[in-house]
Structure 1
Amino acid sequence: MRLGTLRLSAPGDGVPTATVAVRLDDDLAVEVPGVADVGALLAAPDWRERAAAADGRRHALADLEPSAWAPPVLRPSKIVCVGLNYRRHILEMGREPPAYPTLFAKYPEALIGPYDPIVLPAHAADAVDWEGEVAVVVGATARRLDEAAAADAIAGYAVLNDVTMRDYQYRTAQWLQGKTFEATTPFGPWLTVTDAPVTGDLRTVLDDEQVQHTPVDDMVFGPAALVAYVSQILTLHPGDVIATGTPGGVGHARRPPRYLRPGQVLTTSVDGLGELRNDVVAEA
């Protein structure tokens, strides 16, 4: 099952006035009546049944504009990000594999839809990097869980790009300031609900050049291990997101370094989870 969030607009004006959670069937998006986004749906204990039984207004997928798609979860209470979690990326950054996950935070204001433009801030546009990632979305309250219970608390997975301002990131030893610039992190295109571990390959493509490609099982700490670890620190709630880290191929590690520039198109995909496609534009 796939679940997404659509932006709704009044007929004729194209200006979004509301959002609604939808179930994606083969060629239709079916509204879950009265539910504003996937996060609100996951807050209901019977969310799977409600989603499966939803019979609201139908939208032909072929008729939806890319801008109609919002992030699946509009305002997760937490976005916990993981650094240095792919073996190849750790090696290219000249580091040793960690004994514990490297954690930092991102805030909901950073999220944009799966096809929204990435706007390069005028004051921080010189070292903006790509980081394709698998996003874990929590489907049940998680507190001090072991790995088996943590696996059961995962609702499913989506795609995320942890777009990073490298100059701000490395101003200090703390990464936060380069990681949560407002309206820079595409997320979606939907939540793929599954009880199975995510498999397949992650790819990031800049224009027509593949810049990242790795099997997701190259992670040092897998999704269930991350949910279990984070749950020892704080309570995870339905709709919370864990960004599981990026593989090798980031622009900052290249010699010379490469960064996003206006006019480029950034595409991030994970087998079985879908694809983000974002134009890179300069701030007006």
Structure 2
Amino acid sequence: MFVRFESNNKESYGVLEGESIKAINGDIFESDYSVSDETYYVNEVTLLAPCRPSKIVCVGLNYKDHAEEVSLPLPEQPLLFLKPNTTLIGPNDVVKYPKQSEQIDYEGELAIVIGEKAKDVKPTEANNYILGFTCANDVTARDIQFGDGQWTRGKSFDTFLPLGPGIVENVNLEDSNIQLTVNGEVKQKSNLNQLIFKVDELVSYISEIMTLLPGDVIITGTPHGVGPVNSGDVMKVSIDGIGELENKILD
């Protein structure tokens, strides 16, 4: 698993193996990086969001069980919106409850991390442009989202995209569980096989609209069970083969 971490005020990429991290020389988005023998322990560093995207492309209503939950027909094409990169935080970072909102919701999601510049990519070639996958939480000010009638403000507050813990290169997209808990209680539980538009379709579709750059992130939609959180709650997203992403929300 690729991770991005900070130690002694220095940011680095590394490879996580158990409780230790081997630092990487270079950039994981370039072909000439190498794994060094320089080793850190997880409890001695700060894990950061695993990449620094120029943009986060988000897909709405992309789980069959979620569409059924909200009594909406399945979309005929992906429903897209954007989150600014200033929403990005890492594992164990705090989500800030904005004073403008009275209802903040969690949304556990699978995130795609783009590895190479992608434009007009065919679905059959999409995998060549993906570096890997990680966990995401598309935190949303639901009252603002519905009140505005469009999604930008309600999705875009600083700290509204926890991402991590790291990037894994391969996930079983046909049979991996995705789950979100709040204070240890399961709120969302589904499987990646419930995705309406699959990963290769999403990369292709989005690349026909906008150029995807190395490090860009696509979050692929949330399953059924979306609901609110309160200040002090701890949210944890977990996906088979990736791991867990935990964040607390505070005023």
TM-score interval for Structure 1 and Structure 2 normalised by the shorter chain: over 0.9
Taking the aligned partners of 1:194 and 1:271, their CA distance within structure 2 comes to: 11
In the TM superposition, residue 56 of structure 1 has moved relative to its aligned partner by: 4.7
**AA of the residue aligned to 1:273:** I
Taking the aligned partners of 1:64 and 1:94, their CA distance within structure 2 comes to: 47
1:41 to 15, 22, 28: 28
2:39 to 58, 61, 64: 58
1:29 to 21, 25, 42: 21
In the TM superposition, residue 196 of structure 1 has moved relative to its aligned partner by: 5.9
The number of equivalent residue pairs is: 251
Partner of 1:255: none
Partner of 2:196: 220
SS of match in other structure, 1:99: coil
Partner of 1:138: 114
Taking the aligned partners of 2:121 and 2:171, their CA distance within structure 1 comes to: 17
Write the deviation string for residues 18-76 of structure 1: whole angstroms up to 9, x where unpaired: 3111111233201113x4xxxx421x1x15xx2xx311521123x335xx0110013x1
Matched, 1:69 2:47: yes
1:244 to 214, 220, 228: 220
Taking the aligned partners of 2:172 and 2:121, their CA distance within structure 1 comes to: 18
CA contact (8 A) 2:58 2:218 kept: yes
In the TM superposition, residue 198 of structure 1 has moved relative to its aligned partner by: 6.5
**AA of the residue aligned to 1:55:** S
SS of match in other structure, 1:171: helix
Distance 1:198 1:160, change over 3 A: farther
Taking the aligned partners of 1:271 and 1:88, their CA distance within structure 2 comes to: 19
How well do the aligned residues superpose, as a CA RMSD in angstroms?
1.6
Provide TM-score, normalisation by structure 1: 0.84
User: Bigger CA drift: 196-205 or 184-193?
Assistant: 196-205
**AA of the residue aligned to 1:58:** T
Which 4+ residue blocks in structure 1 deviate beyond 4 angstroms?
A: none
Distance 1:72 1:198, change over 3 A: farther
Write the deviation string for residues 83-123 of structure 1: whole angstroms up to 9, x where unpaired: 00001111111210001000000111001111111121223
**Structure 1 unmatched runs, 5+:** 10-16, 252-258
Partner of 2:74: 97
Write the deviation string for residues 137-179 of structure 1: whole angstroms up to 9, x where unpaired: 0111111111011122111100000000011111233211111
